[in-house]
Structure 1
Amino acid sequence: MPPTPAPSTDTTTATTTDTAPAATATAPTTAPGTAVGGSDRSGPPGPTARHARRPGTPRIAALASVVVLGSLMTVLDTTVVNVALNRLSADFHAPLAAIQWVVTGYTLALAAVIPLTAWAIGRFGTKRLYLLAIGAFALGSALAGLAWNIESLIAFRVLQGLAGGAVSPVGMTILIRASDPAHRGRIMSILGIPVLVGPLIGPVLGGYLVDQVSWRWIFLINVPIGLLALLLGARLFPRDTPQPTRRLDVPGLLALSPGLALLLYGLSTGAERHAFASPGALLPTLLGAALVAAFVVRALTAAEPLLDLRLLRHRPFGTAVATLALFTCGYFGSMMLLPLYYQVVRGQSATGAGLLGIPQVLATGITMQFAGRLGDKVAPGKLVPTGVVLAAIGFLAFTTQVAADTPYAVLMAALALMGVGVGMTIMPTMAAATRSIDADRIPAASTTMTIVPQLGASVGGALMSVLLAGAMTDRLPRALSGGLEAVHALPRTAVRHLAPQLADAFQHTYVWAVGFVALAALPAVFLPRRR
């Protein structure tokens, strides 16, 4: 899953909303708004932080290098796994419905950590929390690299997600405390480096490790990087005094992510077995739905909820959330399928699948930079619908060309067009959501807007994997009812013979993803059409 930019909301300055687009290109799995908002209320920085407030000094550069190193590690981990899913399915003899939880479990864990960050900064302090997160992420990576079955790998990926979700927002808070507001934009541009570099090199690096070394090294490579970041952080980061600011909404925390996980598990299990009424599917579905409903009630009634859903009553914010939820469900959910298509249908290696994704990543990254600046001049009600339409057109062009022998240039051109639309949609939508929100509610709004893409990616990934598994079952011979797992057991010549049916299964699944992306245009047209 490509990283999701998160809106930055520094509540200590009056220019927060004006700088939001530039700050959006920060961490993919974080809630910088909550971290910054929470940290600014947790007391003044210590003497070391005050001493480091001169931007451009060697100390600021050293702090930034450590934060970028840690963030790059977590961003790479979100981009290298997709190219390894095919190999994981083969090595663990696991169906796609189970393998996709390697991605879904990670993103759900990230979403669970995001609203905790501001509270945890006040409770533990930035330095202690950052070192704890980096250490736990390195430990989770080592355990994932040593996983002995699919269940253990999913469990260790959840541990990675719980740790990785705190790395970037806490690192951002450390840098913002150590800099002055006049140079905040420069700091944000530095923090955007991992988001631009990670999706570009992650799939290629992951493909090389899977093909030439072992899939285990896509996780084990994080261990030395994490240890280096841990040592440098312990030496360079300023000390701060923890100052708790608010209570943690424990009931909301215990309802949201477990509820979503159970709901997705029950639905995917029912779809995979074609038996939604079976106890193994029905019970987790009902329990998950009950927990999600309880979370909604809690979020609408609690004084300090985990997520303030009352913000959805504000029309610009509500329409932005709806746009982002539909768009990320279709887009990020389908991105898991692209490396599988290249490897299963077209016979590409994991490295080749990573290289074929570069044009789309470049188109998205470059457009994102321009869209952030354009969002300061053009109303979101005009810019975002245009981006959604471009993304849907490019995605539809790609979907109609998905076959066993389509020229790669045609596929990459369509995906590049989709990338332009993605770059014009996500950042301006996030910026538009927070522009009209009162300053005291910006941290809550930022948290919500950061969680939505993670949840959208989780739901989309689970849905697309189940749809693809069903489409394969319907199109392959009865003897191959195991879907992807059964295909791996065939010799390569037999797979080439089945390539047209496999391509048709991917095309059928992509149609659903295009539909979700196109549906995002409906709420997008209700975004503000005036500055």
Structure 2
Amino acid sequence: MSQVRDDRLDAGLLRLIGVTLLGGIMGILDSTMVTVAADTLAEEFHTTLSAISWASTGYLLALTVTIPVTSWAVGRFGVKKLWLFGLTLFLAGSLASALAWNLWSLVAFRVVQGVGAGVVDPLVLVILARAAGAGRAGRVMGMMGVVLSLGPVLGPVLGGVVLESLGWRSMFYINLPIGIVAVLLALRVIPAGVPAGKKSAARLDLLGAVLMAPGFAAIVLALTEAGERGRLDAPSVLIPLIGGIVLLVGYVLHALRTRRHEPLIDVRLFSSRSFAASVTVQGLVGLATFAGLFALPLYYQVLHGHGARAAGLLVAPLGLGSALAMPLAGRLSDRLGARSLVRGGALVAALGAVALTRIGPDSSEVWSALAAFAIGMGLGGVGAPTMGSLYRTLPPEKVPQGSSVVYNLNQLGGALGVACVALILAVTGTGTGPAADLGSGIGGFRSVYWFVCAVAVVIVAAASLLPGRPETPDAAPDDASAGDEPGQTPAGERREEHGASPTSPVS
């Protein structure tokens, strides 16, 4: 009888994972699909590529600003209502973007999309972490990681196919049937998250929102500008960077002093060694991943003369390696803990990066693809155990805040990775046109992958701060009533060696 009950719960969890990822994948794909349409949009609206970049930048900034507020709204409105609101807003922005009549209407509607994605994206983690419980956190995060790994790789490829076959408006129309199905399924499958009469009465930390959300957005904007310009000393980089740092320092001081209400993000969570190490490692994974995803297409285009579509397909092994490694690493982490798996994954990524420092203009694409596959596998072996570790050590009520921190640091890590690659290539004099100097070009790309190797080495060092082997055997939750979500485990069910207890954020 017990076995039947466990199977039924597992089937329900799989349905929940599928429905949640169906809703979440749209934002992941959409954030990268539009980048391949820059030339087409510039011609359509008779403007410059610099102006068109605001269609992507506006989306990214809106997403970044919204994520911190979502962590508060989960307790106030419940997961299901918030999820449906975010999906509906994203679909409305998609439809409006497809109907845009000029550049600035497109930018405005992309901002609406970004707000919807800023609600949905962190909720993916909240829903799955609560439903999985401590005993299955690694496995569920590994399954989610498949989508997160393939999204940035498949987005440009899918965008190129849709753009050439159906036109740029179809890149937004394609969200509508997927989104409608996601909404209909969510009505049946997504749990409410806040029982009737138990919604949080906590007021929104308005001052915290005014400090933190624009602070993160300003830093992302600065890093994006640095990536586009290949320099740090431009006013468009320095002004938002300094402003963002000042705002975030102000938020930290505010959060430490506030007593009247709970801050958006409790900065005392970082006093937990496990939490601080987990979110730091996750940010470094984003940095290394986006550095690789940004540099590899340039390598194939500049030094091998491939077109954008072929270059995009040749980058796919990086995402494929990560997608294959994440489910296995996540499952193993539920039994072995995060520390040893993260070390092993980071070492594999470092070896793959070292292999890419040996490539040249005449190197076979097979070798660079294999090296990229190794980097992807290594980073996938880091990502899923780290995420599982994070959610095993967070108190259930802090899961929305933890998700907000993870997504914001991942955004910063990705933007920093692109900016670092652009700066390295600019310093080494790497060209991007047909007349590029191959000697200086290959030196620049090799420097990029020495940088990726250095990031992997830092992850190896940080792994010692992650939790080790769990003290108790893996156990799936028996009763959906254990928490607010089906499958949520009670706080304190499980502890890990040298990590924070699930009942306390402080190790």
TM-score, normalising length: structure 2: 0.73
After superposition, the Cα gap between the structure-2 partners of 1:237 and 1:371, relative to the gap in structure 1 and judged at 3 Å, is closer
Match of 1:393 among 331, 351, 354: 351
Instruction: Report the count of equivalent residues.
Output: 456
- Name the counterpart of 2:119: 166
Higher deviation after alignment, 245-254 or 110-119:
110-119
Q: CA–CA distance in 2 between the matches of 1:274 and 1:237?
A: 45
Match of 1:512 among 426, 445, 451: 451
Decide whether the 8 Å contact of 1:108 with 1:454 is kept in 2: no
Shift of the alpha carbon at 1:366? 1.6
After superposition, the Cα gap between the structure-2 partners of 1:270 and 1:107, relative to the gap in structure 1 and judged at 3 Å, is closer
1:359 aligns with 2:312: no
1:324 aligns with 2:282: yes
Aligned residues: CA RMSD: 4.4
- Name the counterpart of 2:87: 134
1:287 aligns with 2:243: yes
Q: CA–CA distance in 2 between the matches of 1:180 and 1:523?
A: 25
After superposition, the Cα gap between the structure-2 partners of 1:452 and 1:182, relative to the gap in structure 1 and judged at 3 Å, is closer
Match of 1:423 among 367, 377, 380: 380
After superposition, residues 149-298 of structure 1 pair within 5 angstroms as: 156-167=109-120, 170=123, 194-195=147-148, 198=151, 201-230=154-183, 243-266=199-222, 272=229, 276=233, 278=235, 280-298=236-254
Q: CA–CA distance in 1 between the matches of 2:386 and 2:14?
A: 31
Decide whether the 8 Å contact of 1:259 with 1:288 is kept in 2: yes
1:457 aligns with 2:414: yes
Higher deviation after alignment, 179-188 or 111-120:
179-188
Decide whether the 8 Å contact of 1:381 with 1:527 is kept in 2: yes
1:75 aligns with 2:40: no
Residues 419-470 of structure 1 deviation map (CA, whole Å, 9 limit, x = unaligned): 12111111112223344445554554444334322221133234434544x3
Q: CA–CA distance in 1 between the matches of 2:97 and 2:364?
A: 36
Q: CA–CA distance in 1 between the matches of 2:90 and 2:208?
A: 24
- Name the counterpart of 1:375: 333
TM-score, normalising length: structure 1: 0.70
Match of 1:114 among 64, 67, 74: 67
Match of 1:94 among 27, 38, 49: 49
Match of 1:525 among 464, 468, 474: 464
Shift of the alpha carbon at 1:497? 6.5
Decide whether the 8 Å contact of 2:59 with 2:114 is kept in 1: yes
Shift of the alpha carbon at 1:67? 4.2
Shift of the alpha carbon at 1:173? 7.2
Match of 1:412 among 369, 387, 410: 369
Residues 177-200 of structure 1 deviation map (CA, whole Å, 9 limit, x = unaligned): 999999999998986774476467
- Name the counterpart of 1:12: none
Q: CA–CA distance in 2 between the matches of 1:382 and 1:175?
A: 24
Counterpart of 1:520, as a letter, is I
Shift of the alpha carbon at 1:411? 0.6
After superposition, the Cα gap between the structure-2 partners of 1:56 and 1:330, relative to the gap in structure 1 and judged at 3 Å, is closer
Q: Give 5+ residue unaligned stretches, structure 2.
A: 1-7, 470-496, 498-507
Shift of the alpha carbon at 1:221? 1.8
Residues 129-176 of structure 1 deviation map (CA, whole Å, 9 limit, x = unaligned): 333322221232344446678776555444322211323565787899
| Percent identity of equivalent pairs | 35
Residues 366-420 of structure 1 deviation map (CA, whole Å, 9 limit, x = unaligned): 211111122133343322122112112212322431x444211011100111112
- Name the counterpart of 1:314: 272
After superposition, the Cα gap between the structure-2 partners of 1:141 and 1:507, relative to the gap in structure 1 and judged at 3 Å, is farther
- Structure 2 counterpart SS, 1:305: coil
Decide whether the 8 Å contact of 1:276 with 1:282 is kept in 2: yes
